[in-house]
Amino acid sequence: MPSPLNRPINLTLKTLPLRTATIVFMHIDFYYDFVSPFSYLAACRVPEFTNQHEIDIHWKPFLLPQLIKMSGNTPPSSVRRKALYLYHDLNRWAEHLDVPFKMQNPSFFDARPALLGAQALDADDRITFSLAVFKDLWSGNIQPDHPQWLDKIMADHKLPIGWASPTHPEPLMDALKDNTTTAYRLGAFGAPSFFFHHGEKPELYWGVDRMDFLGRAIDKAKRP
């Protein structure tokens, strides 16, 4: 009987299917439009929220009126009682956050120039620009029916005047439309919309009043 040490060794290897692992880096996409006062309130909270929960938040401007049409939603102003309630709720939130607030009528100003300006900027500059626009629009410092309202915001905050008039606006508008379509496909129907990326599918949190739930979800996802 041959010794086991002398037996031939079968070196035939079985071909195994390859498995690819998708690594998801935990972060949040914050979709906003300057015509949305609740986006303003959320934007006021985001910087502190970012530091508190130690997570990257990507600011993504999009076209809220287009999203409302795509999702079959209706503007709050179309229901009188709802509009009155939300007006009082906005003032409650502003008092709670200790930020100035003055109601504008979104139908009377075109926020697209500011959205184009935000889309043209990267990371920190986009945040700086967006906060300046939000604060001046919704604190009553700027009347958006003025033809040079965006230039005035840049001047008041000592920001580069070129930020108000980006070159090549066509691809920027295409990018805003892409942001809107992406938000819609993920389930958005209004603003502000936060998508928490921490698994296979981003999780939607809608509204400034859902940021506390978002914070809890982040803390839970970070637990070992």
Q: What is the pLDDT of residues 146-192, one digit of tens each?
A: 889 999 999 999 999 999 999 999 999 999 999 999 999 999 999 99
79-105 b/e (C-beta count within 10 Å ≥ 16 → b)? eeeeeeebeeebeebbeeeebebeebe
Average pLDDT over residues 85-99: 97
More reliable by pLDDT, 83 or 11: 83
Q: Report residue 84: phi and psi, to 5°.
A: -65, -40
Q: How far apart are CA 57 and CA 28, in angstroms?
A: 5
List the CATH code of the domain at 24-192.
3.40.30.10
Element (H, E) at 85: helix 80-97
Average pLDDT over residues 91-107: 91
Residue 118 is predicted with a pLDDT of 99
More reliable by pLDDT, 10 or 85: 85
At residue 106 the predicted structure's pLDDT band, cuts being 50, 70 and 90, is: low
Q: How would you class 185 by CB atoms within 10 Å of its CB: exposed for 0-12, middle for 13-18, buried for 19 or more?
A: exposed
- Its pTM stands at 0.87
Average pLDDT over residues 60-80: 93
Average pLDDT along the chain: 90
Average pLDDT over residues 16-29: 63
Of the candidate ranges 24-28, 95-99, 122-126, the one whose mean pLDDT is the lowest: 24-28
Q: How far apart are CA 150 and CA 161, in angstroms?
A: 9
At residue 73 the predicted structure's pLDDT band, cuts being 50, 70 and 90, is: very high
Residue 19 is predicted with a pLDDT of 43
Residue ranges per domain, the chain?
24-192
Residue 16 is predicted with a pLDDT of 43
- Given a cut of 70, is residue 99 above it in pLDDT? yes
Residue 25 is predicted with a pLDDT of 85
Average pLDDT over residues 31-56: 97
- Given a cut of 50, is residue 20 above it in pLDDT? no
- Given a cut of 90, is residue 11 above it in pLDDT? no
Element (H, E) at 205: strand 203-206
Q: How far apart are CA 193 and CA 28, in angstroms?
A: 10
Residue 78 is predicted with a pLDDT of 86
